[in-house]
Structure formats: C-alpha cells, structure tokens
C-alpha cells in the first residue's frame, strides 16, 4: 500500500520542483541496538503542506533534526532547496525557518530585540545597538511581519509580558525574517488554547498563500494533519503510510453504512439471508463497499428507521496503521 501510493504521488510530481528530497536516510545513535531511521525516502513538493506523523519513538524528532541541520545522518542523502544538506549546511540554514516545540525566546528582551539578535546571529542583517540604527530593510521587514501577526503595539515590550499565543507568533515572525523557502514547524501549537491554535493556523495559511512557502509540520493534533497536502506516517523508523489524507483513509479504511429498524430482529434475519456482512453495536454496521450502498439498500425489504453513511477519520486510519505494528 505504502509503495503504491508513494509511487503514484512521486510520478505526479516529477515535473514539479522538490523543496526537500530524502533518499535512503538512516540514523543510528552510538550504543543503540538498532537504527532510529531505517532507510526512509520521500520528497516534498515546493509550496506544499507536508505533515510528518508517528507515535513517540517513531523517528519524527530525529528526521526533523537532520533536515534542519542540527544532526548529521548516518547515511543517505538529503537536499533542501536544491542544496546538499551535509556539504552546504550553512547555505541550507539561510533557506529555512524553524519553529521548535520548546520556546527559544529570551523573555528579558523585547520582542524586537529577540528578532534583531536572531537576524544578526544568522547574518541576515548587521547588528546595531538600537532598532532605529538598524538598516531600513530590516525595520521594514519587522513592521511588515508585526502588522501581519498583529504585534505592532507589543513589539517593544519585554517578552515576559507576552501570552503563550503572542510568544508563538513572535517565533513565527523570527522564522520568517529572512524570507525562507521552507518553514519547519515542530508541534507549533503545543500548549496553546484552542482559540490561539486557530488564530496561529490562520496566520500560517495566510503567509503560505502570500509567500509560496513550503510547510513541513510535525504534530500530535490529527485535525491539523487533515489540512496537509501530503502525510507521511513513521513507525519505528520506517515509512508505513504516505499520501494525501483522503488516500490514506481510502486505502486503509472503507466507508460503511449504519442502519437500523424498528424491528431489528427482522432486519438482522434478512441480512443473514442476503449474506451481507454486518456487526451490531449501537446500530447495525453494514460492511459493504461504497459502490454497493444503493444496490444493498434496494435489496432490504425491512422498513429502515436509520440510514447513514460513515466516512472514517484520519485518526482512525492512523490508529489502524500504528496499533499493534511490530
């Protein structure tokens, strides 16, 4: 299933520029009994929204650390924006923005001072001891982002006075200072309340649309993964599913019908005579292919009080893939 979906999607993308190409990537830590990453390969199309999923210990953090140049691979090859990850690591860092799960802001500095320190540290803009002395292009970029994230009035306040949502927005601003081609997000909404999560995703969608960003996300929130163009599911260092949310659900879990009748015993007896597969829970679950729904209903003579079609969620598909795998 994995190879068929991955092969089909790769064929569709052969003429599109790839933002990320991962080939036979492995990682083994010293004294580890087995590899953390076991020869994984995938590509991420430019301008797409890609999500990496997997249970704890699957290799998500290791993959992200390698792709953001924080960790060297044991073997394999990776290109980021056409650059070799190992040989051209410094150039790669200029093409990417990163938001890690754990906040990395100095709360004793103002929001702008955090931005200025980051910009100077990575060589995007020369350091000046005051905001007004910074280059015009820096000040223009900072105010442009502050307006986008609605932080203009808070930009020169200490970060210690910021809410969790404001700190996350400042981190996104920091990651976008150099206009990266690829934005890596490691659990960006962890710890945020539902309102702040929704607002942050609204901003991320907007900047993706405006700047043509490629977004690479790791998350535990499956509803966030539903929005992705492509999902890659890791389990014990291997890719176990790859494709769009719809492709993954369709390949693993079929839609089914929920039916019921005032005379349930008559209905169940009729289903047995018709030889239709079913199970009985709160309602009667008919396990027939989607294309046979209408024909099946025409065959049932018992008056039905409930007729519903049910489409499995990505969460159900995810649990189906990862539960019980060796």
pLDDT per residue rounded down to tens, the chain (326 residues): 444 545 544 554 445 679 999 999 999 998 777 899 999 999 999 999 999 998 888 899 999 999 999 999 999 999 999 999 999 999 999 899 998 877 789 999 999 999 999 998 888 888 899 999 999 999 999 999 999 888 999 999 999 999 988 998 999 899 999 889 999 999 888 777 888 788 888 888 888 888 889 999 998 788 888 899 999 999 999 998 899 988 887 766 667 788 999 999 999 999 999 998 888 888 888 877 777 888 889 999 999 999 888 777 777 777 777 775 54
String of b and e for 25-47 (b: at least 16 CB within 10 Å)?
Answer: bebbeeeeeebbbbebebbbbbb
Distance of CA 265 to the CA centre of its chain: 46
Q: What is the pLDDT of residue 265?
A: 93
Give me the pLDDT at residue 305, please: 92
Distance CA 4, CA 8 (A): 6
Contact 229, 239 (CB under 8 A): no
State whether 202 and 272 are in the same domain.
no
Same-domain pairing of 25 and 124: yes
For residues 141 and 260, membership in a common domain is answered with no
Q: What is the pLDDT of residue 324?
A: 52
In this prediction, residue 15 carries a pLDDT of: 52
Residues 244 and 114 in one domain: yes
**What's the pLDDT score for residue 252?**
64
Domain span at residue 276?
256-310
Domain end point (choices 249, 268, 292): 249
Co-location of 149 and 262 in the same domain: no
Q: How many CB atoms lie within 10 A of CB 54?
A: 25
CA 248 to chain centre: 14
285 and 181 within one domain = no
Looking at the structure, tell me whether residues 215 and 299 fall in a common domain. no
Both 236 and 306 in one domain: the answer is no
Is residue 28 within 8 A of residue 51, CB to CB? The reply is no
pLDDT for 152 equals: 93
Q: Is 315 among the domain residues?
A: no
- In a domain, residue 323? The reply is no
Q: For residue 181, what is the domain's CATH number?
A: 3.40.50.300
Residue 222 lies inside a defined structural domain of this protein: yes
pLDDT for res 260:
92
Cβ neighbours of 264 (radius 10 Å): 15
Q: Based on the domain organization, do 218 and 274 belong to the same domain?
A: no
**Residue 5, in any domain of the structure:** yes
User: Quick check: is 138 in a domain?
Assistant: yes
* Closest CA relative to residue 151, chosen from 103, 114, 104: 114
| Res 7: pLDDT | 53
- Asked, for residue 22, whether it belongs to a domain, the answer is yes
Residue 251 has a pLDDT of 66
Q: What is the pLDDT of residue 316?
A: 76
Structural domain includes residue 326: no
Residue 176 lies in a domain: yes
Do 212 and 150 share a structural domain?
yes
Residues 219 and 41 sit within 8 Å (Cβ to Cβ):
no
**Same domain (yes/no): 77, 226:** yes
Instruction: Quote the pLDDT of residue 250.
Output: 73
Both 210 and 103 in a single domain? yes
Helix%, strand%, coil% for the chain, nearest 5: 40, 25, 40
Helix (H) or strand (E) holding 17: none
Number of domains composing the chain: 2
């Amino acid at each position: 299933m994995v190879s068929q979906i991955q092969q089909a999607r790769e064929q569709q993308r052969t003429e599109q520029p790839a933002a990320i190409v991962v080939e036979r990537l492995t990682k083994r830590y010293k004294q580890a009994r087995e590899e953390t990453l076991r020869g994984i390969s995938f590509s991420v199309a430019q301008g797409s929204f890609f999500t990496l999923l997997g249970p704890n210990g699957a290799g998500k953090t290791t993959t992200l650390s390698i792709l953001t140049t924080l960790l060297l691979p044991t073997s394999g090859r990776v290109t980021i924006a056409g650059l070799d990850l190992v040989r051209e690591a410094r150039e790669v860092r200029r093409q990417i923005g990163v938001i890690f799960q754990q906040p990395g802001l100095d709360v004793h500095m103002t929001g702008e001072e955090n931005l200025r320190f980051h910009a100077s540290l990575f060589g995007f803009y020369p350091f000046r001891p005051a905001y007004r002395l910074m280059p015009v292009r820096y000040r223009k970029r900072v105010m442009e982002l502050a307006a986008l994230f609605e932080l203009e009035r808070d930009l020169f306040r200490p970060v210690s006075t910021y809410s969790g949502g404001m700190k996350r927005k400042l981190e996104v601003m920091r990651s976008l200072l150099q206009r990266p081609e690829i934005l890596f997000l490691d659990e960006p909404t962890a710890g945020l309340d539902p309102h702040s999560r929704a607002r942050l995703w609204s901003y991320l969608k907007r900047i993706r649309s405006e700047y043509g960003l490629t977004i690479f996300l790791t998350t535990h929130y499956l509803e966030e993964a539903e929005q992705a163009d492509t999902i890659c599911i890791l389990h014990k260092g291997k890719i176990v599913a790859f494709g769009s949310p719809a492709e993954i659900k369709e390949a693993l879990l079929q839609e089914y019908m929920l039916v019921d009748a005032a005379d349930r015993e008559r209905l169940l007896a009729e289903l047995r005579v018709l030889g239709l597969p079913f199970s009985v829970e709160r309602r009667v679950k008919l396990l027939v292919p989607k294309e046979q729904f209408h024909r099946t209903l025409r065959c049932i003579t018992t008056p039905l009080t409930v007729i519903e079609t049910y489409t499995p969620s990505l969460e159900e598909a995810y649990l189906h893939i990862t539960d019980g795998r060796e």
